[in-house]
Copies of this chain bind each other. A is one copy, B any other.
Amino acid sequence: MAVYTKVSAEQIDAFLTRFDVGTLVSAKGIAEGVENSNYLIETTQDRFILTLYEKRVDPDDLPFFIAMLDHLAAKNCPVPPMIADRNNVKIQELCGRSACLIKFLPGISVTVPTAAQAEATGRALGDMHEALKDFTGTRPNSMNHDTWRQLAKDCGPDELDAIASGLHDLVESELDHLDAHWPDDLPQSVIHADLFPDNVLMLDDQVTGLIDFYFSCTDVRAYDLAVTHSAWCFSDDGSQFDANVSTALMRGYLETFALSTQECAALPILARGASLRFMLTRAYDWINTPADALVTRKDPTAFLKRLTFYQNNPDIFNR
């Protein structure tokens, strides 16, 4: 990942005069997040992330994200609120992009989570779901279950088979299975929908930040746990399942949020759905991104391996 929009120090300095945050001391373009441009800003008072929203984030969605983060921050969830300027405006414009000044949170993103880290993340996710119970905002999930068949079509059968032999047939068969069993009647809620280790900041075994809410949306709540499970409980390439991490993640979540029997029973199918969703979006990006582009392509087969695992181990959530 890279910085897409170059903002000069003079421009950042002028931008900060809209706020009551002190004057600029340091500004470094940082390489992280979804496809936005991010600067780590230090002022005489504090540190901030300055985010310029590039094509993947629709500026019309920013009020929803801000309301969600304000709601979570008010309930002491460790999320990074957007800073209001002197006129109480949070959505700014800078260099022709929508831009927000965001509170900096300390913490690092782990790459190979320990059980203790997964348990803390499960608790943070449960706390977030509890806090969102009375949040009234809604946002459609543009990558929900209903969209996956079209996404597979947009990839193309030959292109899928080029990624892994027989992948097209496997996807079609999985889509049929998910259509037949998808639990649309389960409780819906606003969810994070992308709580990968990248998007959790930790110090030791404590969660200090949940970040990158730009996929947040309304969907089956337990699906959020399934996404998190698929993201945390496997080696990066999907080849190794870590049962201890899985048990710890589930224990942490269930300590803070009470899943119904129906929700628990649906986890295997939801995890298959989560695996298919990330496999398909990665496959789409893989097919449509030049190998030497700015964006690092993520291997779709890492989530094909997770899908296969969930297919073969439907009892994994009962352990």
Contacts and interface: CB of A to CB of B under 8 A. Distances in A.
Interface of A: 1-3, 8-10, 12-13, 24-32, 40, 42, 106-112, 201, 203, 290, 292-294
Contact of A108 (B24, B108, B294): B24
Given A28-B28, A203-B25, A110 B9 contact: yes
A108 B13 contact: yes
Contacts of A40: 28, 30, 40
Contact of A10 (B8, B110, B293): B110
Given A2-B2, A40-B40, A27 B108 contact: yes
Q: How many copies does the complex hold?
A: 2
Contact of A31 (B2, B12, B107, B112): B2
A161 to B, nearest CB: 27
Contacts of A108: 9, 12-13, 24-27
Contact of A111 (B2, B9, B29, B203): B9
A45 to B, nearest CB: 13
A109 to B, nearest CB: 6
A293 B2 CA distance: 12
Q: Of A28, A42, A110, which is in contact with the most chain B CB atoms at under 10 Å from its CB?
A: A28
Contacts of A290: 292
A13 B114 CA distance: 15
Given A10-B111, A290-B292, A106 B31 contact: no
- Which of A13, A32, A108, A109 is packed against the most chain B CB atoms within 10 Å? A108
Contacts of A13: 108
